[in-house]
């Protein structure tokens, strides 16, 4: 695995069907093996009606990267708790800390 412990990531799970919710997970890698990542952070759900919502509780997840998983590296200086996923009108979804970090994830966005 080319992801190391201590790296920060935004994991995007691709949908099987258009009506499936879009799921994101932002956090810090605790451990990485050849086929799994143990990450602590926050789960997000994107819904056409409700927008993007972050679950309030910190959780640990084991993620098995595969063809349905997109993993983006977040810079070390970004504070995970400050991240938001916002909808930019006319563009799409963006993961941002509201300061210097912006990750365009519009290809995974909620479309109307």
For 44-96, what is each residue's pLDDT tens digit? 987 766 778 899 999 999 999 988 899 999 999 999 999 999 887 877 889 99
Would residue 26 count as lying in a domain?
yes
Question: How far apart, in Å, are the Cα atoms of 108 and each of 19, 32, 60, 93?
Answer: 13, 25, 23, 8
Would residue 90 count as lying in a domain?
yes
Would residue 53 count as lying in a domain?
yes
Residue range(s) defining the domain that contains residue 25: 8-108
Would residue 52 count as lying in a domain?
yes
pLDDT greater at residue 101 or residue 22: 101
Would residue 2 count as lying in a domain?
no
Would residue 13 count as lying in a domain?
yes
pLDDT of residue 1: 65
pLDDT of residue 112: 42
pLDDT of residue 111: 46
**Spatial separation of the C-alpha atoms in residues 29 and 41, rounded to whole Å:** 9
Would residue 42 count as lying in a domain?
yes
Say how many domains are in the chain. Answer: 1
pLDDT greater at residue 93 or residue 102: 102
pTM for the model: 0.85
């Amino acid at each position: 695995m080319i992801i190391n412990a201590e790296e920060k990531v935004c994991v995007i799970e691709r949908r099987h069907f258009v009506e499936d919710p879009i799921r994101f997970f932002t956090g810090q890698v605790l451990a990485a093996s050849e086929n799994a990542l143990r990450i602590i952070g926050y789960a997000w759900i994107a819904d056409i009606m409700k927008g993007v919502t972050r679950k309030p509780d910190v959780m640990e997840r084991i993620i098995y990267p595969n063809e349905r998983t997109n993993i983006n590296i977040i810079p070390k200086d970004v504070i995970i708790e400050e991240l938001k996923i916002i909808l930019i009108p006319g563009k799409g979804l963006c993961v941002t800390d509201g300061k210097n970090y912006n990750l365009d994830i519009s290809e995974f966005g909620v479309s109307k």
